[in-house]
Amino acid sequence: MKFNEYTYERPNLEDLKSKLETLTKDLTEAQDAKEALSVVKLYHKIMDNVDTQMQLVLIRHSIDTSNTFYDDEQAFVDNAAPLIESSAVKFNNALLSSKFRSELEASLGELLFKKAELSNKTFNDEVIGDLQLENKYTTEYVKIRSSAQIAFEGKVYNLSQMAPFTTHKDRKIRKEAAKAVSNWYKEKESAFDEVYDNLVKVRTTIATKLGYENFIQLGYDRLKRVDYHAEDVQSYRKQIAEKIVPVVSDLMKRRQKRLDLDKMMSYDLGLTFLNGNPEPKGDRAWQVDQAIKMYDELSPETSKFFRFLVDSELLDLDSKANKEGGGYCTYIPDYEAPFIFANFNGTSGDVDVLTHEAGHAFQVYMSKDLIPEYRWPGYEAAEIHSMSMEFLAWPYMELFFKEDTDKYKFAHLSGGLEFLPYGALVDHFQHEVYGNPNMTPKMRKDTWKKLEKIYQPWKIYEELDPVGEGLFWFRQGHIFQDPFYYIDYTLAQVLAFDFWGHNQKDPKKTWERYLELCKMGGQYSFVRLLNEAKLPNPFIDGTIEEILKPVNAYLSSIDDSKF
């Protein structure tokens, strides 16, 4: 069955509410643990069906934001989600107060109950209207970005399609492309300011109504972070500022020398090599063919998984007009189908997506038989699977890059290091914003500029570049759509480096460890998962420095002047 044959039917909210009320009553009145467990399983089945419909809307709307049918359905979902959550929280309350809780915990795992407790903290009926507004504003942000029409060299492009020009080896083209993108963000400055101001205010209102001091802890609780806190993340960011920023500064000096520049400007940062960045040697269809070969060779499990995605047309990879930017992986429960969404543009990022999002998709595919709450790990843990898959795919990169394989590997590994300070910057910025929700838009931009100097001291803007006025974060969708999520990428990047180090020595054993990690799904909280999977804890001082020793040694051993 192919993706376009998956049927969408708008959920009947009244009918759903009635069913969930009945199940809540049945759970409360259950005569024994067996009966209670069967009620929970029926609840999971119903919620899987609802989630299936919502995921179909998300995917089809993001593929074409101008499709009026799915635009209307997205508006319906934005309004319906908090109402459905209201019924779900009532069911969770019955679960938490069940007289058979200890037996249910033994069957379902204690983390389900911890997550249910957090769901209670992060929601009540009083905030339904505010949550609907929050959804509306995040959808507005997506529409602003996906509406971009940038005139460049006689043609019109969206933001994703501008990437080959902003990373072009011809400095004049790079500079002009960066200027065109900057000018578009400047044109839309007031629209971005307004939508973010609305988001900060409504999230702060929700936090206050739920009894939080501000949105920060609510943001953490929404992400189901049960075993680390803002203080842990702060000390982790400190490790990055003290240990990683100097290393990346040195990498930037090497890059400046490679690019033969007297002064490296912000518009140069997209280029890694003077003769151009490594690019895949074929189009989207060719790359998918190479990916089939790669996953066939990697393991029987990845072969079966990736062929299922391709045969069922569960990949939408081409960049096109009115398509949402970025890339993601989601899961459609009733069809047991992961889905990969991306915007290919002919850069090495295409291959990164084919490995990164496939890491997410493979993990959920291996966890599909777990209960819904355990199919995905927590956000920070989920990114371990995706980023590690990028590195586990290294032995097969020659399929995509041929003679430029070593060049790609150097760019990929150094790029992972260079990403860490930026990820910490995005996180630090959000802590400042939500800790001081009355900031004006100008104050937010000034805060970004100040933090940029700490985490990216090598970044120098043109004097009249509007993005240099503190607008760069407009392009970071997570800041608008998924507050506090972005640091998870950096945590996972550090742990992916650990997988990379082991894979250099013993690929077979490293793959077996990775496969076991995927099968664990979301049964454990983040720190517990690290313990179960025997992975180092990035929050402990000194961990980052230790993990990065082999990475630094590898990068130092490469003569990058030959690229």
323 DSSP 8-state letter: P
Q: Which residue in 558, 18, 507, 539 sits closest to 240, CA to CA?
A: 539
Structure tokens at 139: 């959808």
How does DSSP classify residue 346? S
| Alpha carbon distance 470, 463 (integer Å) | 13
Kindly tell me the burial class for residue 131, based on how many C-beta atoms sit within 10 Å of its own C-beta (0-12, 13-18, 19 or more).
buried
With beta carbons less than 8 A apart as the criterion, state whether 265 and 460 touch: yes
Sheet holding 337-344, edge to edge: 315-318, 337-344, 328-332
Count Cβ atoms below 10 Å from residue 7 Cβ, excluding itself.
9
Length in residues, the chain: 563
**Is residue 276 predicted with pLDDT exceeding 90?**
no
Mean pLDDT of the chain: 96
Residue 556 has a pLDDT of 94
Q: State how far the Cα of 274 lies from the Cα of 472, in Å rounded to an integer.
A: 25
Show Cβ contacts of residue 397 under 8 Å, excluding neighbours closer than 6 positions: 351, 405, 408, 409
pLDDT value of position 408:
97
Q: What percent of the chain has pLDDT over 90?
A: 97
> 536: which 2 tokens?
């180092």
Per-residue pLDDT tens for 486-501?
A: 999 999 999 999 999 9
Q: Torsion-angle region of residue 323: left (phi > 0), alpha (psi -120 to 50) or beta?
A: beta
The beta-carbon contacts of 300-304 under 8 Å, at least 24 apart in sequence, are 301/362, 301/366, 301/515, 302/362
For residues 524-529, give the mean pLDDT: 95
C-beta of residue 218 within 8 angstroms of C-beta of residue 206: yes
Judging by beta carbons within 10 Å of its beta carbon (0-12, 13-18, 19+), is residue 166 exposed, middle or buried? buried
The average pLDDT across 464-474 equals 95
Give kind and range of the element (H or E) at residue 315.
strand 315-318
Residue 379 has a pLDDT of 82
In the beta sheet, which residues pair with residue 339? 330
pLDDT tens-digit series, residues 332-349: 999 999 999 999 999 999
Residue 97: pLDDT over 90: yes
- Give 244's DSSP letter: I
* d(C-alpha 459, C-alpha 521), whole Å: 38
Tell me: the pLDDT tens digits for 223-266?
999 999 999 999 999 999 999 999 999 999 999 999 999 999 99
pLDDT at 378: 86
CB atoms within 10 A of CB 211: 9
Instruction: Determine the pLDDT at residue 283.
Output: 97
Q: Quick one: pLDDT at residue 130? A: 98
Which pLDDT band, with edges at 50, 70 and 90, does 380 fall under? Answer: confident
DSSP bridge partners of 329: 340
pLDDT (tens digit per residue) in 132-141: 999 999 999 9
Quick one: CA torsion of 483, 487, 492, 498, rounded to 10 degrees?
Answer: 180
Q: Is the pTM value of this prediction over 0.85?
A: yes
How far apart CA 498 and CA 503 sit, in angstroms, is 9
pLDDT for the residue numbered 396: 97
Percent of the chain with pLDDT over 70: 100
Does the pLDDT at position 519 exceed 90?
Answer: yes
Distance CA 354, CA 358 (A): 6
Q: What is the mean pLDDT of residues 522-542?
A: 95
Among positive and negative, which fits the CA dihedral 213, 215, 219, 222? positive
Q: What is the DSSP string of 415-461?
A: HHHHHHHHHHHHHHHHHHHHHSTT--HHHHHHHHHHHHHHH-TT---
pLDDT of residue 44: 98
At residue 56, the pLDDT reads 99
- pLDDT by residue (tens digit) across 348-379? 999 999 999 999 999 999 999 999 999 999 88
CA distances from 144 to 141, 167, 188, 321 (A): 5, 23, 8, 13
pLDDT digits (tens, 9 = 90+) for 170-214: 999 999 999 999 999 999 999 999 999 999 999 999 999 999 999
